[in-house]
Amino acid sequence: MERWKGRVALVTGASVGIGAAVARALVQHGMKVVGCARSVDKIEKLAAECQSAGYPGVLIPYKCDLSNEEEILSMFSAIKTLHQGVDVCINNAGLARPEPLLSGKTEGWRMMIDVNVMAVSICTREVYRSMKERNIDDGHIININSMNGHSVVPQSDVHFYSATKYAVTALTEGLRQELREAKTHIRATCISPGLVETGFAFKLHDNDPERAAATYESIRCLKAEDMANAVIYVLSAPPHVQIGDIQMRPTEQIS
């Protein structure tokens, strides 16, 4: 991780869960981390904690609604002005709504497409532009995917969500191919976890907190820190090593 010291990382959805853990880990390794979310109160608190702990990097909170392209473009413009550009992008923000294919609301489907697919694609495009403008040839784009992007489970509430994560699988491999065609050494990776103990299930089942809690009580789940460790592993790989996808489940998880 030595070569990343002082360089700029963007982490989307950095206020809670996996995003917050990844942001903290990157700051611990000396990176300048722009952490964005719709609400930055929790990121501001995390930034203060990182500073108090004496971590060598810095966390910079940025308010951005990733379902709004104008806000994404404005964020990249601000990063360019203040920090030159982005060298590492962690496309972490994602959401699931309980909208089955036969009866789901279009609004919920659209929300998932906007954040899980469109925002990832827009951020990726803008990060690549940022790298090219500055002749950065060793950048890294990491998409936080899901095991739902590799198999469809018999649970109607997450079928559309699964479709968006299959899109992330295809986008990451497509990106890898285009980066090769462009003759760059910029790398693309996705990390696909199974059950991670975060607030994810409570947002998915916001009308049924008992069901959400049960999701995490049945087995010993992955922690957000396990995901952060996977990100550090990916970034630590030698420049000639391309890690395409890390699929990781809790040991006790079946599907």
Residues labelled as active-site residues: 161
Rounded CA separation 130/7 (Å) = 13
Evaluate whether 126 touches 74 at the Cβ level (below 8 Å): no
Evaluate whether 124 touches 187 at the Cβ level (below 8 Å): no
Rg, the chain, Cα only: 17
Name which of 163, 229, 233, 169 is nearest 196 in CA terms: 229
Evaluate whether 123 touches 91 at the Cβ level (below 8 Å): yes
Reading the block at residue 152, the tokens are 């469809």
